[in-house]
Structure 1
Amino acid sequence: MKKVVSLLLLISTSVFAQIDRIEPPFWYAGMHNPELQIMFYGKNISENEVTVSNSIAIKDVKKTENPNYLFVTIDTKNVTAQDFVFSFSKNKKVVFTKKYSLKQRRENSASRKSYDASDLIYLVMSDRFANGNPKNDSDKSVTEKGNRSLPGGRHGGDIAGMIQHLDYIKELGATALWPTPLCEDNDKVYSYHTYGQSDVYKIDPRFGTNEEYVQLSAELHKRDMKLIMDYVTNHWGAEHWMMKDLPTYDWLHQFPGYAQTNYRMTTQFDPNASQIDAKMCMDGWFVKSMPDLNQSNPLVNTYLKQNAIWWIEYANLDGFRVDTYSYCDKKGIAEWTKAITDEYPNFNIVGEVWMHDQAQMAYWQKDSKIAAIQNYNSYLPSVMDFTLTETLAKVFNEDNGKWNEGLVNVYENFANDFLYPNINSIMVFAENHDTNRFNEIYQKDFSKYKMAMTLLATVRGIPQIYYGSEIGMAGSKDKDGDAAIRQDFPGGWVGDANNAFAKAGRTPEQEQFFDFSAKLFNWRKTNEAVHFGKMKHYIPENNVYVYFRYTDSKSVMVIINNSKESKTFPTNRFQESIANYKTGNDVLSGKSLDLKKDITIAGKSVLILELK
């Protein structure tokens, strides 16, 4: 009878303390940082003592105020790829066990090459690009179902749709794909953007599966292209599984509960800022449905570091874009960033630092001399050139080129390049998923589109374009909300009347935009002078801007006429850049120009001259 009672007690205890989640679900051998924090979650799991097999050392066991969590740190130094077993005991008796795996890393994983200024990044709104598998538009495991008739609903774009159209993206000349976040977002409504994630180890089932994400990476690599993950460190969604049962009260920033950020990112470095204003910027929630993560909590920060590294290894990623980077805890986000780049020294991470001043943006780039004044280093390799974006949104309507209008504002943007510690590693773009569409601002004026894309293709930095602009897609966020700038790509859904993925399916207007874009961006692939060459520019005269990108062996002369009238000018002013070059071959028209003679350029047009 005693044996029966003991057996029943063992069974009930095992059920009582079962494991519902393990994160990371597995790990990799041979990492730069050998310490691995494993989170075990299950009813009253912390009541157990834990040991591990195979002589693996446990460095630390942390219990929190919530008995349903146990954080176990092991030392994987010199531990080869293998399976081992965690044993959970109560009253010196093993209650249950759990197998855990260290997997073999890919060869040369740590030294993987990331995206850089030789790449062109293609940003897609994942739910709005292409529906490759209509069967996953809705899923019983998540609340919001597919509804393409609802502007802010789930439309069905997915990973399968991206894979099916990788050849289109490559034909355009793009070399890297940046999809908006793909992890599960179980918000009841407006979940399609996926920035309020509910499970950061799982691809949203309406996008596909973890395995399909790995397949997307592999298919890109087959085409010599790269995959960039849109990573969110600042917040999760209100429906994240942990929000129902937090590991610790301070896993989030609480006031208690919700308080909104003041959005004043300048308080992060303003020497005159009050403590309360700085706190409300960093600790306030971006919106009520996105609880703010506390990166100053070591358990949280380690969790985020390991989640990011896990995805890099698992999906063989080539880089990150990090959402709302400058809203995070300054010290915590720097530690997170350094942990990633310590593991992968060549790995690029671009942070969304949406500020309106070059010095303020440069503050956030790795090894900034500006930030060093405050003894701060973010370790962030790349930031986004939002001041250029704001300039491009207005200058092409400034036809007269007065003292402070027209292309002189583009010139002045580049005049501040000295502020950045690594000017080649900043992202340049005319628009993204949060801004008005460029073609909406300029009413699909093709000449203005050509000028903007020419700039992005030929100036310093890493160019990024937004899906659909290459076929003239427009949309105003100000007038019609976010859905207007995140429309479905025509041809991405069965039954679409217009299939812009194929030449035969494009309208004449779409074909005009695409042909120019593909010619420009495919040429860009071939010219290292516009990748990493130096830049020399000349003060715009009569709203004509001339600049050169050059190496010791190559030089490209770019001329942009932003006035409505044709302009003719002598070349002697640019002699220090022209030097011994005799002719310039226009990469767009194929015509050759004599550099000793005057150059004539039509109104609202461009010349890209490879010097010979």
Structure 2
Amino acid sequence: MTLRRVADVDFVQLVDRDFHPSPAAWEDQVLYFLMLDRFSDGRERDYLDDDGEPVTTGTTPPLRAADHGNAITTDPDRARWEAAGADWAGGTLAGLRSKLGYLRRLGVTAIWISPVLRQVPGSDSYHGYGAQNFLDVDPHFGSADELRDLVSTAHQQGIRVILDVVVNHAGDVFGYDPDRYLTERDGVPFFDPRWDGRPYRIEGFREAGGKPLLPFGPVDGIAWPDGAVWPAELQRPGTFTGRGRIDNWDHHPEFVEGDFFGLKDIALGAGPVERYQPSPALRTLVRVYQYWIAFADLDGFRVDTVKHMDPGAARYFASAIHEFAQSIGKDNFYLIAEITGDRGFAYRTLEQVGMDAALGIADVQDRLEGLVKGVRDPAEYFGLFRNAFEIGKDSATWFRDRVVTGYDDHDQVRKGDRKARFAADGDGGRLAVAALALNAATLGIPCVYYGSEQGFDGAGGNDRYIREAMFGGDFGPFRSRGGHSFDEDHPTYRQFARFLALRRRLPALRRGRQYLREISGDGRNFGLPHVLGGRMLSVVPWSRILADDEVLAAVNTDPDQPRTAWVTVDADLHADGGTMTCRFSTDSTEEGRTVEVESRNGRSVEITVPAGGFVVYT
């Protein structure tokens, strides 16, 4: 059914069915974030289907190590490969649906999908953050029915679906009047619609060809489907702030009122948080996203750019979405807020707006990556989950379902123009399992960025280089083309899948309290592991404790050789002479080995962690 107005949605009929229930505890989940355009086009062959059976009918073969670099053998080839990364690559909803078995066998229980709504025609917004029609799926990705089929199949596979949504802005749907506010740059007339606190005059909505030739107002009869913005309710006067692009990203109210470069800021309302008056545009967007919850049976939203929304607007959105979801039986529909800034700001904002979890970017990512690579003190990462009193919480276990953790993502704001995946440097590939395991075995809801389980190593001065296409195409990983990377025999995939199977069996690894543990080389002198001389090559251990159950986990930041250390454990839970057993090791021959608890630094055990590896003892 074609929808032009939110008012046309028959919600009574839409909600007259049973919906997939929410999980009891989101910290039990393992998220996997994928950019839909870069994940799968459904044309691969020689991979395993949902039932683990070989698929031999596609056209794209698996990528071989010998294929790495095959797209950049000449300067023209390199230029073509780089240019391909800035355009649509071809991933689809149907392609993703065909790879749910691959994700399930890895241990993924929830997928976070980049935005799927219809983008401004003719743009290169393959990322999905520039919507033109909020009531339709972009045809590059497929159809609304294919979104619904994907979610249904995912639920059958035991996988929930979180959709990335944007409330703060639309795509580049209108043009400013270039005859107004003309400036000079190096003596040359230059139109630079930059935020200065005043509204700019707007020339008109863009028509299908991209020119701002349509009236800036209701244009239902002449703009459908590729012109202006949809639903039609968003064509009303006052929908957009119209104040130009953000220049200072930390200046208020500039970062709330301004445009994200060409993406046009939506006026969401006004007033203090407790008395916020939502605009008609915000009310429309709330109804839009309620529609998608019911239509596709979604399980959560990742809400983009929450920092750039009025707190009152974000709170109104969260309340309305939660209430609607609860009314159809989704009692724990999860809202994950993207909130850039320091930890204190992020968590204060999270509480203020009433969303469920903050996306752990910047500090979490940087410190996790630095710990595993031995260049940041472990206390810096583990300290992010302490001092709960400072944010008004009675226990650090608050963090277990209130922050989504990870170490790679699709834009890496923290790295500026030196973007690089974890595996891009010399040691990153050899430490990949340790990084994935640390993320999944510490507090928070772990999130894996697509391709990390295959050792993707993209790097460069633009976002495109960390957004490789899993399915190959013209912009494949490892600077390749023509080969897919759905390899379930990859060592990182296999090791991480084995560990996630153990995580499902050990509640303490998902829900327990967390303690960074002291270590000793001689069994007498103990202290926390730390960077010495610029690099820490060491065992880094921590405990997760749930009731009377202690799980001891450790990584080795030395990628070249195993490391042995005495590790402190809880003296109240272990008697002298007791034992702990290795339940997981990246050297599987160690599994089942027992170590004796001795009276050292209270109570301690001596463990060995393989080079660049990870172990778990109980």
Please confirm whether the aligned pair reaches a TM-score higher than 0.5, indicating the same fold.
yes
Displacement after TM superposition at 1:338 (Å): 1.0
Cα distance change on mapping 1:211 and 1:521 into 2, 3 Å: same
Query: In structure 1, what is the equivalent of residue 238 of structure 2?
Result: 250
Q: Secondary structure of 1:153's match?
A: coil
Query: In structure 1, what is the equivalent of residue 429 of structure 2?
Result: 446
Query: In structure 2, what is the equivalent of residue 525 of structure 1?
Result: 504
Cα distance change on mapping 1:309 and 1:572 into 2, 3 Å: closer
Query: In structure 2, what is the equivalent of residue 340 of structure 1?
Result: 321
Displacement after TM superposition at 1:182 (Å): 0.6
Query: In structure 1, what is the equivalent of residue 406 of structure 2?
Result: 429
Residues 122-521 of structure 1 mapped to structure 2, 5 A cutoff: 122-132=32-42, 150-239=84-173, 241-243=227-229, 247-255=235-243, 258-260=244-246, 262-264=248-250, 277-296=251-270, 297-343=278-324, 344=326, 345-355=331-341, 357-366=342-351, 377-386=352-361, 387-398=363-374, 405-418=376-389, 419=391, 421=393, 422-425=398-401, 426-435=403-412, 436-443=419-426, 445-478=428-461, 481-490=462-471, 497-503=482-488, 511-521=490-500
Residues 577-588 of structure 1 mapped to structure 2, 5 A cutoff: 578=574, 582-588=579-585
Deviations 1:371-428 (A, max 9, x none): xxxxxx21111102221102123333436xxxxx432322322334553753122101
5+ residue gaps, structure 1, are 1-18, 30-101, 135-146, 265-276, 367-376, 400-404
Cα distance change on mapping 1:332 and 1:397 into 2, 3 Å: same
Q: Secondary structure of 1:207's match?
A: coil
Displacement after TM superposition at 1:363 (Å): 0.7
Cα distance change on mapping 1:534 and 1:20 into 2, 3 Å: closer
1:556 pairs with 2:551: yes
Displacement after TM superposition at 1:250 (Å): 2.1
Cα distance change on mapping 1:409 and 1:378 into 2, 3 Å: same
| TM superposition score normalised by structure 2 | 0.70
1:103 pairs with 2:104: no
- What is the CA–CA distance in structure 1 between the aligned matches of 2:150 and 2:511, rounded to whole Å? 29
Displacement after TM superposition at 1:591 (Å): 3.5
Cα distance change on mapping 1:113 and 1:567 into 2, 3 Å: closer
Structure of higher CA gyration radius: 1
- What is the CA–CA distance in structure 2 between the aligned matches of 1:477 and 1:300, rounded to whole Å? 38
Displacement after TM superposition at 1:289 (Å): 3.3
Displacement after TM superposition at 1:247 (Å): 3.6
Q: Secondary structure of 1:570's match?
A: strand
Q: Secondary structure of 1:117's match?
A: helix
5+ residue gaps, structure 2, are 45-80, 175-226, 271-277, 413-418, 519-527, 531-537, 599-604
Displacement after TM superposition at 1:176 (Å): 0.8
- What is the CA–CA distance in structure 2 between the aligned matches of 1:553 and 1:251, rounded to whole Å? 56
- What is the CA–CA distance in structure 1 between the aligned matches of 2:564 and 2:496, rounded to whole Å? 26
Displacement after TM superposition at 1:210 (Å): 0.3
Residues 533-572 of structure 1 mapped to structure 2, 5 A cutoff: 533-539=512-518, 540-541=528-529, 543-552=538-547, 554-563=549-558, 567-571=563-567
Deviations 1:548-569 (A, max 9, x none): 1122353310123335765444
Percentage of identical aligned residues: 21
- What is the CA–CA distance in structure 1 between the aligned matches of 2:503 and 2:568, rounded to whole Å? 27
Displacement after TM superposition at 1:261 (Å): 5.4
Cα distance change on mapping 1:213 and 1:174 into 2, 3 Å: same
Cα distance change on mapping 1:322 and 1:420 into 2, 3 Å: farther
1:609 pairs with 2:616: yes
Query: In structure 2, what is the equivalent of residue 57 of structure 1?
Result: none
Contact persistence 1:440–1:476 (CA under 8 A): no
Cα distance change on mapping 1:359 and 1:570 into 2, 3 Å: same
Amino acid at match of 1:434: D
Structure possessing the higher relative contact order (Cα contacts under 8 Å, 6 or more residues apart): 2
Contact persistence 1:261–1:283 (CA under 8 A): no
- What is the CA–CA distance in structure 2 between the aligned matches of 1:536 and 1:465, rounded to whole Å? 23
Amino acid at match of 2:429: F
Deviations 1:2-34 (A, max 9, x none): xxxxxxxxxxxxxxxxx99321532323xxxxx
Query: In structure 1, what is the equivalent of residue 4 of structure 2?
Result: 21
Contact persistence 2:561–2:612 (CA under 8 A): no
| TM superposition score normalised by structure 1 | 0.70
Deviations 1:317-370 (A, max 9, x none): 011101111111111111111111122341111011122x2211111223xxxx
Cα distance change on mapping 1:538 and 1:553 into 2, 3 Å: closer
Aligned pair count reads 470
Amino acid at match of 1:390: D
Query: In structure 1, what is the equivalent of residue 220 of structure 2?
Result: none
Contact persistence 2:248–2:254 (CA under 8 A): yes
Q: Secondary structure of 1:198's match?
A: strand
Amino acid at match of 2:447: Q
